[in-house]
Structure formats: C-alpha cells, structure tokens
Amino acid sequence: MIRIAVDAYGGDNAPLSVVQGAVDAVNEIKDLSVTLFGREEELNGLLADKTYDKERLFIVHAPDEITNHDHPTMAIRRKPDSSMVKALDSVKKGECDGMVTSGSTGAFLAGGIFRVGRIRGIDRPALAPVMPTAKGSPVILVDSGANADCKPEYLPQFALMGTAYMKGVMGISDPRVGLLNIGAEEEKGNELCKNAHPLLKETKGIDFVGNVEARDGLAGDVQVIVCDGFSGNVFLKATEGAAMMIMGMLKQNLLSSLKSKIGALLAKDAFKKVKNSMDSEQYGGAVLLGVNGALIKAHGSSKAKGIASAIAQAYTMVQNDVLSSIRRELEAQEIKEDTPNV
Amino acid sequence: MFEKIAALIAEQLGLDAAEIKPETRLVEDLKADSLDIVAMVMEMESQFGVEIPDDELANLKTVGDAVAYVEKLKK
C-alpha cells in the first residue's frame, strides 16, 4: 500500500476540490491510501455523502492553516498544527510516502527542504513542473523557481534528478537533457551557463545534448530542461502567458462572425484535443526534486481532477522508487569522482 | 542537553554522534551548509520548545554555541 498525505487547505478551491480529488484517486487506484490533513469536523462533513473505501481514506486533525499571506519559513516554523506542516511531518516520520498540497508554494518549498529534508548529496532541491511539447512527449523543467540563483554544480544534480523522474514517472527510457540558454553554441550564455555546460558534459548517467533555446524548449527534442530557478520561472510564465494569449485571440476571432463560428464548430474536436493536451490538471503538479519524499505542489487553482492527478503522480513516484534512483545516480557520481585517474 | 543536540546534528548530517564535540565547528568541521543550519535550528526549536531568531544563526558557529544558546532560552 502506498500512503500519500494530502494537505486539505490552501488552494483556491480547498477543501472541497481537495476532498473530491482524494476520493477520486482512492477509487481509481486500488493500492493507494490517502490521509487528509485539516479540520476534522469540516472534512468529515464533506466526505459524508461520498462513496469510497474507508480503510484507505483517513483524516488527521490539523486545526491551523498556512495562507499565502504567511511568511513561508516563519509559517513552517511557527504553525506546527497547520495542515501543511502536519502533512509534511507525516512524510518525515515515515507514516506517509509522499505529500500533495495546492497551498503556498513558498511554505511548501521551505517545509520540504527543512522539515522533510534533502537527499544526501543534493545541494539544492528544485521545483519541477512537467509541460507538454509539440511532439506529444512531455518535458520537465528543473528548476522553475526554488533557487533564483544557482551555482554551476547544482545543474548536473538537476539533470540527474530530472532524468530519474522522467524515467520513473513518465516512462521515458532515455530522456535527453538540454541546458536552457540564449544560443545553441557551447560558448554562449552567462557565467552560470558557460560554467555548467562542461560539468553537464562530464556527468555520467544523463544524455546531455547541449544548449536549448527557449523557443525550442517545448519542441519535444529534449525531455529535461535544466536552468536556474529565475530563468526557469521566466520561461514557464512566458510560455503560459503566450499560450493564454493565443487561446484568447483564437476564441475572440472564431466567435466574431457566423462564418468563423461554423468553421469553429467543424474544427471543434481538433480544438478540444489541443485544449486537453495543454490542460495542466492532467499533468498533476510540480514535483519538489531532491527531498526525502514524493512531494507534489498542485496548482493553486486545482480542481478535483488536478488534485487526483497530483496524488497519482506522487503514487507513481513512490511505486517506481524514483528517490532510490536519484540516490543511486548520486552515489555513482561520487564513486567516479573519488576514483583516481589512471 | 549536549548529547541531545549532538544526536540531532548527527542525524541531520548523517554522522556518528561520537564524532561531535562542543568545540566542533558546524561549517568548517561538519561541512554543514546554510540549509543544514536552518534545518538544525528548526529541529531544535521543535524538540526543545524554544524560538531561535534568524539573526542569531550567524552566531552559532560551534556545537557548543548552539547548546549554550538553547540552554539560555530554556532558563
């Protein structure tokens, strides 16, 4: 049985959508147990009319809640009875294998790093969302904002973690790794990119294919993009913004005349497919790579489907033992580094 | 108190508690980085029911410094 802790509070649609997502996940996956952390009375009330296996869905009372107005590190330190902290602590104590929240990203990062703790050998954990690409295969972006400034040596660790995740969770046998940069040539970029490039080339256990420009990031030629959190966040938000703008313009123009409305009706299935392939709810959430647990941050606006996907994502990560893969890869690097050249 | 804090630090850094002495330096001897130190402080706060302000972190250079500070707060 794989045990996932779920923070019932924090997101825009919490706790209603979180409870429904947890019920859907438990009904969908037979060897999954979910523990909801939050105000017991309210959660019991929301579960009252739902059908689910009561042996696999539990509630742990957590009277307090962390909001987006709380200072992340302070909230983690000063709100021990909050749903997020209690859920994180259950992973630390080994009572749960993974955790899902749609609450404050900052508090989630601080809690993951400081309460659950880092995998030994990882300097900085990274927040990594999975995004769709033009070729249909997904790509993971490591880091999308946990570390605004990075040292070059963090990037090979990001590459190893992203590779292990894409193999273990997305079933991609040989993920290709690209370094987000402003040009394809090796000598291009800022100091970080120029210094990280040779380190990535030397890293064993990854398929590093060189630099990738932002416009090619979602082309589908690489399955892991590594970068500092600042650049990753700009890439992520610019992509989201561009997609929203194009969808908005399309909608506006398609509804502008009778002729275009008829055209839109005929092309409805194609539009639906595009919309589904870009639906963040089906990708679950961003994974915090580099900590001792399968920790997933679902989007703040997640509905039940997004929460259920995030729970399934944590489940798959545990089932395929991604954390052990990361540890093995790190150990392999250390052995190689310690081996004298002959 | 020293034994408890040494055990907590040992667990955090994956070391043997016997290696830790009051004069052991957190950064230079134990190779703790800034995230390790915040994590240790949070664990001390949680175990001993004290609040250690962020400004104080820079003054906790050795294991003995941490023990003395927690003991002062407990009084």
Structure tokens at A317: 């990560």
Interface residues on B facing A, Cβ-Cβ cutoff 8 A: 12, 14, 33, 35, 38-39, 42, 45-46, 51
In CATH terms, is domain B2-74 a member of 1.10.1200.10?
Answer: yes
Give the distance, in angstroms, between the CA of residue A274 and the centroid of all CA atoms in the same chain.
21
The CA distance from A114 to the nearest CA of chain B, in Å, is 5
Instruction: Using DSSP, state whether B25 is helix, strand or coil.
Output: strand
Domain shared by A159 and A85, yes or no: no
What's the domain range around A232?
A: 128-282
Report the CATH number at residue A294. 3.40.718.10
Is residue B36 part of the annotated active site? The answer reads no
Would you list the domain boundaries of chain B?
2-74
Provide the chain A residues 131-170 that lie in CB contact (below 8 A) with chain B: none
Q: Mean pLDDT, to the nearest integer, of B19-48? A: 90
Q: Which of B42, B45, B56 is most worth mutating to test chain A (most A CB atoms within 10 A of its CB)?
A: B42
pTM of the model: 0.88
pLDDT exceeding 70 applies to what percent of chain B? 100
Domain shared by A199 and A264, yes or no: yes
The CA distance from B74 to the nearest CA of chain A, in Å, is 18
Mean pLDDT per 10-residue interval, chain A, length 342 residues: 95 93 97 97 96 96 93 88 96 96 93 92 93 92 94 96 94 96 93 96 95 96 97 94 90 90 88 77 86 95 93 96 93 64 43
ipTM over 0.85: no
Domain shared by A39 and A96, yes or no: yes
Query: Domain count of chain A?
Result: 2
User: What is the model's pLDDT at position A336?
Assistant: 56
Domain shared by A69 and A208, yes or no: no
* Residue A249 burial class via C-beta count within 10 angstroms: exposed 0-12, middle 13-18, buried 19 and up: exposed
Band of pLDDT at residue B36, cut at 50, 70 and 90: confident
Domain shared by A237 and A311, yes or no: no
User: What is the model's pLDDT at position A335?
Assistant: 61
